[in-house]
Every structure is written in C-alpha cells, then in structure tokens.
Amino acid sequence: MQCQRLALALWCQLMALPAQGRGTPPLQELAAGIDALYLSGRGSLPSPLVERLESARTEAGEAGEPADVEIAGSRWRLAGHGWGKYRFCLDNVQGRVGLTDSHHVPTVRIQPRAELVHAIGPADTVQMMTEPFEAALGPLTWSVSRVDVHSDWQGLSLHRSMSERFVSRALARTIYEDGTLCTGFTFGVRTGAGIYARLYDKVAEINLTGNDYWFDVWGERYDPNRGVHRLEFQWGREALRSMQLNTPEDVLAATGDLWKYGTSDWLTLRNPTSDETKSRWPIAPEWAEIQRSSLNHDLLGVARLKEGSRRGALRLLMPLLNGCASSAAVHLGTEGISDTLQALGPELQRYARSSGEDFSARVDRKRREWSL
C-alpha cells in the first residue's frame, strides 16, 4: 500500500507540471456565477385569485392544454395539473411558478429559467419574478430554497484515478464514464437540502440539451479545440440556513463565500504524499486555480440568449426532420430539398383538414405552450 501511494504521488507530481514540462495550456476560466436560483414566498392567496385559478385549471384540464391567465399584468399558462405540493402550476418564458392556499408549504414557489438568469442577472431575475406576485398577493416573505454556483474551465483533464484524490464532506460519490473516458464526478445527494457538487463535461451536456447559448456566454475566451468542464455546487435550503443565509439579498451577497466554502472546506482535490491522512495532502495546483474563480457573472442579453436557444433547438430537431423529409421524398417521388418541401405542402394541408386543426393554428398553439 505504501509503495502504491508513493507511486501515485510521483505520478501526480508529473501531472502537476503542465506549464513547465509538458507544454499544456494553463487553466482558463470561461464563466462563473449563479446558474439556478429558486425562491419561496410566504403569504396568502386572496380568495378571488384562488377562484380564478381554479376556473382556469378546470378549463385547462378539459381542453387538454394550458389556459391563459394574467396576474398583475404578467401573462402565464396555467396547467390542468399541479406541481408537486402546489395545486396551481404556471409557466411562461421566464420560468415556472407554483401557487397554493395551503399553510403547510410556502404560498409561492418560483423557479426561473437558467436562460433568464444569464440574460439579465440574478438580482434582476429576482425582481422580475417576484414583483407580479407581490402586487397580486400583497407583502410576501421571500427566502431562497436553492442556489447553484458554477465555474466553467478549459484545460482541466478528468480521469478515474482522480476519485482517490478528492477530499469531501459528502458520503456519496459517483464516477461517470463513457466507455473508458471519465466524464465527471458527483458528490452528495442531489435530492437533498444540503450541498451537492458536480464536476462534468459541459460541452457533452450542451450537445444533449441544445443549450447552445453557452457558447455566447463564453465568447472569445472559448477555444473549440479544448474541452470545457464545469464545477457546480448546489446549495439547498438547509445548507444555506447553516450559513445564516435566508433572503435573496443575503444569498446574492454571499456568492463568493459559498464558492470559497465549497472549494476549500467541502470539496478539494489533493496531490498524494506518504501521509496516510488525505486531508493533509497538499491542494492540487489546478484546484488552487479553481478556488480563485472570479465568480463574475457575464450577462448575455435576452436577444442573444433567444438566438442561442433557437440554434440549439433546431440542431436537435435536424436529425428528425432530415429523416422524416427524406422518408417522405421516397413516397412522394421527389429527389431534392426544394421539390420535397413543395410536394409536402398539399400533404400537410390534407392532414390538417382530416385532423381538424389548421397548420398555422397548430404552430400558434405550440408557440403558446412553449411561451415563445
């Protein structure tokens, strides 16, 4: 065991020489800040509003699609079902909101979309999401139920053997692999109210989700020839309370402190030595860089964010569209894109007549469902 530890220590020392001995570019931080900010508000739902929401919920259930509702000038789509413990589930392009007249849980649950946070910033997101409900319900006591703090890096290499070098307060630990390639690690329990950390391949996730706006967030700092890895800490309600953080203002002011605690006390990457106590091993040089994250929050702006989301959605749709269109071409007797699309027009019109829903009406319905 002692020989194995010494061998690992020597190997780690070699891996810690990117600039001096191996010509590997140093770590580059691409972006950092808050990626998720979930809010809870305690107050009471006025009876007239409850009646209006109940009516809209019944309408949505009967129609099989969300119903339009307006709350203090803010437009929402109310579903015919609830959201967890919340009877009323509302969605729009800004995010999702749950409302309840129960006294066992907070009256309002707000989950802004990550795109909104990166478009206008966390503070403005809080203001935009809470104002309509303050106006409709009266004064509410707001608290943060979850905040995710992240930092994105190029130049960080993941490998399975790193697992033995992490020192964490979390008992649960998972290694993710794609074949022989290590794609990430998790620490803690994601569904809990404590701290949960992820270190993972962000570009691979973008390829699956279509969140291409991240390339705009990274901007000119991003090198497409190098991978991007994200370190993210999810702070739940109980973990925030243990740090004496409750209100949105408290949490936003403490973002840097949350990162410092996460990367210095809760989770660290070490270089092994002959010492049998891992917590006394020195901090790995690459982790020391991560500890010094800028935590600056680059804002995209709504227009650029929508364009990035549109590109990602179309990229994910293209394989399906290409397959369906080429299959249709076989049956239509067409060869190219133009003649296939031209021939599809009458077929789509015939289908619209048989289904009872015009194509433009179908587009409008989906646009409303997706809050676009």
What is the mean pLDDT of the segment spanning 281-292?
95
Report the percent of the chain where pLDDT is more than 90: 65
pLDDT of residue 300: 42
- Does position 332 have pLDDT exceeding 60, yes or no? yes
Per-residue confidence at 6, pLDDT binned at 50, 70, 90? Answer: very low
Among 42-56, 182-196, 286-300, 326-340, the range of highest mean pLDDT: 42-56
Q: Are 255 and 263 in contact (CB under 8 A)?
A: no
- Cα separation, 345 vs 341, in Å, equals 7
- Cα separation, 99 vs 110, in Å, equals 9
pLDDT of residue 297: 52
Indicate left, alpha or beta for 41 from its phi (over 0: left) and psi (-120 to 50: alpha): beta
What is the mean pLDDT of the segment spanning 168-193?
92
Q: Are 290 and 199 in contact (CB under 8 A)?
A: no
Residue type, 52: R
**Other C-beta atoms lying within 10 Å of the C-beta of residue 43:** 17
Report the percent of the chain where pLDDT is more than 70: 85
pLDDT of residue 112: 96
Higher pLDDT, 71 or 9: 71
Q: What is the DSSP letter of 26?
A: P
Segment 246-266, tens digit of pLDDT: 999 999 999 999 999 999 999
User: What residue ranges do the domains of the chain occupy?
Assistant: 2-35+147-291, 44-139, 302-369
pLDDT of residue 191: 85
What residues contact residue 327 under an 8 Å CB cut-off, 6+ apart?
A: none
pLDDT of residue 197: 97
Segment 35-52, tens digit of pLDDT: 999 999 999 999 999 999
3-class secondary structure for 120-144? HCHHHHHHHHHHHHHHHHCCCEEEE
Token couple for 318: 């293209």
Segment 79-116, tens digit of pLDDT: 999 999 999 999 999 999 999 999 999 999 999 999 89
Higher pLDDT, 5 or 276: 276
pLDDT of residue 372: 47
- Does position 361 have pLDDT exceeding 90, yes or no? no
pLDDT of residue 8: 47
Per-residue confidence at 363, pLDDT binned at 50, 70, 90? Answer: confident
What is the mean pLDDT of the segment spanning 120-147?
95
What is the mean pLDDT of the segment spanning 25-36?
90
Per-residue confidence at 331, pLDDT binned at 50, 70, 90? Answer: confident
Higher pLDDT, 363 or 336: 336
- Rounded to two decimals, what is the model's pTM? 0.76
What is the mean pLDDT of the segment spanning 317-334?
81
- Cα separation, 233 vs 175, in Å, equals 16
pLDDT of residue 13: 47
Count Cα atoms within 13 angstroms, Cβ side, for 252.
16
Helices (H), the chain: 2-15, 47-63, 114-120, 122-137, 202-209, 213-218, 237-242, 248-253, 255-261, 285-291, 302-332, 337-355, 359-369
- Does position 135 have pLDDT exceeding 50, yes or no? yes
What residues contact residue 121 under an 8 Å CB cut-off, 6+ apart?
A: 297, 299
